[in-house]
Chains A and B, each alone.
Chain A
Amino acid sequence: MAGAISSFPTAASLNQPIRATSEPWFVKAVLIGIVFAFFTLFLFLPLVVIFQEAFANGTAVFFAAFSDEYTQHSIRLTLLTAAIAVPLNTIFGLSAAWALTRFDFRGRSLLITLIDLPLWVSPVVGGLIYVLIFGAKGWFGPWLYPDADMLAHSAIARFLDAHSFHIIFAVPGIVLATTFVTFPFIARGLIPLMQEQGTKEEEAALSLGANGWQIFWRVTLPKIKWGLLYGIILCNARAMGEFGAVSVVSGHIRGQTNTMPLQIEILYNDYNSPRSAAFALASVLSVLALITLILKTFAEWRAERQLAEAAAAFDFPVKR
């Protein structure tokens, strides 16, 4: 392709678009100004507010916010929830991405749409569905909240009641709702990446005698690790920050079923506690969000490189 003739600069080969394909400087300046103003108003200022308000009463008050017993409990509960939901969704994401990108079958696009569904359902609905199933008046309500009559008849009801095992207004419901809401993240990050990378390397490994697990661990996983890492981190950030769905199933019992976002709400609405306490806790989740953004930028760069390397190895063009 690269002959002597194409050494002439064309618009496409120049970094700077030439005049016919770019705007006058004042149009550029106005557009850039609009974008800066819009981003400042909607993105930068909210971030500034969080940290400014968190430290508004000094660092001593900031750190004092974390000595509160209920706040500490909410942090532990959030960590526990994410520690269950994220691995579950990671295994699912890998499995779904393998099935959907390595094979072509009927109903494939319907399956992708269904996997996407929790992203577009209101988080409140995400919590509601579990209340309808496990709540006092839900499907399994009679077993989980037995009356005296039931207790006499059902061994399960006696067992559950004796151990006061509940799902709604308890930790299992919070984990379930969080899993629902963060369900698609890893799968929908991996599917386009694995689709673009193709299957030639895996087929080569297969022809050299590798079995399925060997192909996955030694060929596929190294190829997708950055995309996977980003998916896990985003899923984790969303799991720790989920509010709507968890709020519906939690019951807001202090020291028992409050996650960090719910504790932020309580602190914010509590006129006895300083506003900075709510923002101190919020600032922790905001740092997590910022780390997510930094890693995303990094992972995108790495994923792009992995894709380019994969393309170069097999010498086929990649459409970006």
Chain B
Amino acid sequence: MGKRFILPGFGLTLGYTLVYLTLIVLVPLSALFLKTESGGWQHFWNTITSPQVVASYKVSFGISLIAALINGVFGVIAAWVLVRYRFPGRRLLDAIVDLPFALPTAVAGIALTTLYAPNDWIGHLFAYNQPLGSFISPQTPFGAWLATQGWAKDFLGREGLRIAFSQLGIFIALTFIGMPFVVRTVQPVIQDLHLDVEEAAACLGATRLQAFTRVILPGLLPAIFTGVTLAYGRAVGEYGSVIFIAGNLPFKTQITPVLIVSKLEDYDYSGAAGLGFVMLLASFVILLLSNGFQAWDNRRRGVA
């Protein structure tokens, strides 16, 4: 320990860090807790378990999970392709991965909505009278079957598939904002893989697929879990990009952060604080989970 205190400035920098952290983050966050308590625990419990709120949890946490898993699959493929293959446009792809980090969420929101709204860019391709949309038209057997399914009701419009203003739209927005996480956590791990292990697998008679599933993939798993958890954590709290594309219908396309805002607009401070407290708790659990996966990954790779 003593050796680590050679350089000056410990008291000053740590003191400033703690003061600033306390003022900007810790004190405000504690307001959430105290305000929740001031409304009474019964009020808190009734708020966070009311049917509309529970429906919003399902939308927020459920669709975020699907989006994070999809990002898990495509993120691993993207990371693999970006590290292992050389092809024209690779550097461009590598640079654009971080776009969802840098692009303001409201800008992403209006761009994705314009892209997927029923009469717009991609959205109009899924009208029933268009080639792509005709597959799910109620006139086809598949479309007729789909129309009888409860879960599909939300996004089967009168004239075509509704991507924006349905749960599909929320999925698109959450996939967009979670994209960089899996790619950026898996990429360095693939970079560090030792080719000789794969050679050994090949020498021992493994096919390429066996080498991937039994040798490469187990090594990537901690990083994949970390990335998926991070993408999930980001998606659960997302607000800006979702409100444009979601439609925000209670029980269908209303995410929990939108509900917090509407409670604030009704001056229901303790209700908003209660929901905020639930969201904070969820982020904290997700953050701890991702730290756990990260530690597992570091142990596995022998990084300090």
List chain A residues, Cβ under 8 A from B267: 136-137
Verify B176–A124 contact, CB threshold 8 A: no
Verify B77–A31 contact, CB threshold 8 A: yes
Verify B104–A261 contact, CB threshold 8 A: yes
Interface stretch (choices B134-142, B150-158, B237-245): B237-245
Verify A11–B287 contact, CB threshold 8 A: no
Q: Which of B223-264 contact A (CB under 8 A)?
A: 233-234, 236-240, 244, 256-257, 260-261, 264
Interface stretch (choices A64-72, A91-99, A309-317): A91-99
List chain B residues, Cβ under 8 A from A215: 7-8
Question: Across the two chains, which residue of chain A brings its CB closest to B9?
Answer: A212
List chain B residues, Cβ under 8 A from A290: 102
Return A280 CB to nearest CB of chain B, in Å. Answer: 12
Return B97 CB to nearest CB of chain A, in Å. Answer: 8
Given A31-B80, A132-B32: A11 in contact with B199 (beta carbons within 8 A)? yes
Return A9 CB to nearest CB of chain B, in Å. Answer: 12
Return B5 CB to nearest CB of chain A, in Å. Answer: 6
Q: Is A17 an interface residue (CB 8 A)?
A: yes
Q: Is A39 an interface residue (CB 8 A)?
A: yes
Verify A319–B303 contact, CB threshold 8 A: yes
Return B87 CB to nearest CB of chain A, in Å. Answer: 6
Q: Which of B78-117 contact A (CB under 8 A)?
A: 78, 80-82, 84-87, 89, 91, 93-108, 110-112, 114-115
Verify B273–A104 contact, CB threshold 8 A: no
Return A1 CB to nearest CB of chain B, in Å. Answer: 17
Q: Which of A1-42 contact B (CB under 8 A)?
A: 11-12, 15-18, 20-24, 27-28, 31-32, 34-36, 38-39, 41-42
List chain A residues, Cβ under 8 A from B78: 35, 38-39
Taken together as a complex, chains A and B put the C-alpha atoms of A241 and B100 apart, in Å, by: 12
List chain A residues, Cβ under 8 A from B121: 45, 49
List chain B residues, Cβ under 8 A from A208: none
Return A162 CB to nearest CB of chain B, in Å. Answer: 25
Return B64 CB to nearest CB of chain A, in Å. Answer: 11
Interface stretch (choices B40-48, B50-58, B276-284): B276-284
Q: Is B217 an interface residue (CB 8 A)?
A: no
Question: Across the two chains, which residue of chain B brings its CB closest to A244?
Answer: B239
Q: Is A206 an interface residue (CB 8 A)?
A: yes
Verify A39–B102 contact, CB threshold 8 A: no
Q: Is B300 an interface residue (CB 8 A)?
A: no
Q: Is A318 an interface residue (CB 8 A)?
A: no
Produce 1/0 per residue, A237-273, CB < 8 A to B.
1101111100110000000000011101100100000
Verify B104–A279 contact, CB threshold 8 A: no
Given A49-B111, A285-B103: A44 in contact with B96 (beta carbons within 8 A)? yes
Taken together as a complex, chains A and B put the C-alpha atoms of A211 and B77 apart, in Å, by: 50
List chain A residues, Cβ under 8 A from B145: none
Taken together as a complex, chains A and B put the C-alpha atoms of A41 and B102 apart, in Å, by: 18
Give the contacting residue for A180; candidates B28, B77, B291; CB below 8 A: B28
Give the contacting residue for B31; candidates A103, A133, A264; CB below 8 A: A133
Verify A282–B110 contact, CB threshold 8 A: yes
List chain A residues, Cβ under 8 A from B13: 95-96, 98-99, 102
Verify B93–A49 contact, CB threshold 8 A: no
Q: Is A129 an interface residue (CB 8 A)?
A: yes
Which of A38, A115, A234 has its CB near the most chain B CB atoms (within 10 A)? A38
Verify A183–B273 contact, CB threshold 8 A: no
List chain B residues, Cβ under 8 A from A96: 13, 17, 21
Taken together as a complex, chains A and B put the C-alpha atoms of A24 and B209 apart, in Å, by: 11
Return A188 CB to nearest CB of chain B, in Å. Answer: 12
Return B34 CB to nearest CB of chain A, in Å. Answer: 8
Question: Across the two chains, which residue of chain B brings its CB closest to A275?
Answer: B114
List chain B residues, Cβ under 8 A from A91: 16
List chain B residues, Cβ under 8 A from A116: 287
Taken together as a complex, chains A and B put the C-alpha atoms of A133 and B261 apart, in Å, by: 16
Verify A132–B31 contact, CB threshold 8 A: yes
Taken together as a complex, chains A and B put the C-alpha atoms of A103 and B5 apart, in Å, by: 6
Q: Is A81 an interface residue (CB 8 A)?
A: no
- Contact residues of B with A, CB < 8 Å? 1, 4-10, 12-14, 16-18, 20-21, 24-29, 31-32, 35, 74, 77-78, 80-82, 84-87, 89, 91, 93-108, 110-112, 114-115, 121-122, 172, 175-176, 179, 188, 191-192, 194-196, 198-199, 202-203, 208, 233-234, 236-240, 244, 256-257, 260-261, 264, 267, 269, 272-273, 276, 279-280, 283-284, 286-288, 291, 303
Known: A38-B78, A215-B7, A265-B244. 15 other contacts (CB 8 A): A20-B199, A31-B81, A41-B122, A43-B97, A49-B115, A96-B17, A100-B17, A113-B287, A117-B283, A121-B280, A122-B276, A124-B257, A131-B269, A268-B110, A285-B107
Complex A-B: 18 CB contacts under 8 Å: A32-B85, A34-B74, A47-B99, A49-B114, A49-B121, A96-B17, A100-B17, A114-B21, A120-B233, A120-B284, A124-B279, A237-B102, A242-B104, A244-B257, A261-B105, A261-B240, A264-B107, A285-B107
- Contact residues of A with B, CB < 8 Å? 11-12, 15-18, 20-24, 27-28, 31-32, 34-36, 38-39, 41-47, 49-50, 53, 91-92, 95-96, 98-100, 102-105, 111, 113-118, 120-125, 128-133, 135-139, 176, 179-180, 183, 199, 202-203, 206, 211-212, 215-216, 234, 237-238, 240-244, 247-248, 260-262, 264-265, 268, 275, 278-279, 282, 285-286, 288-290, 292-294, 296-297, 319-320
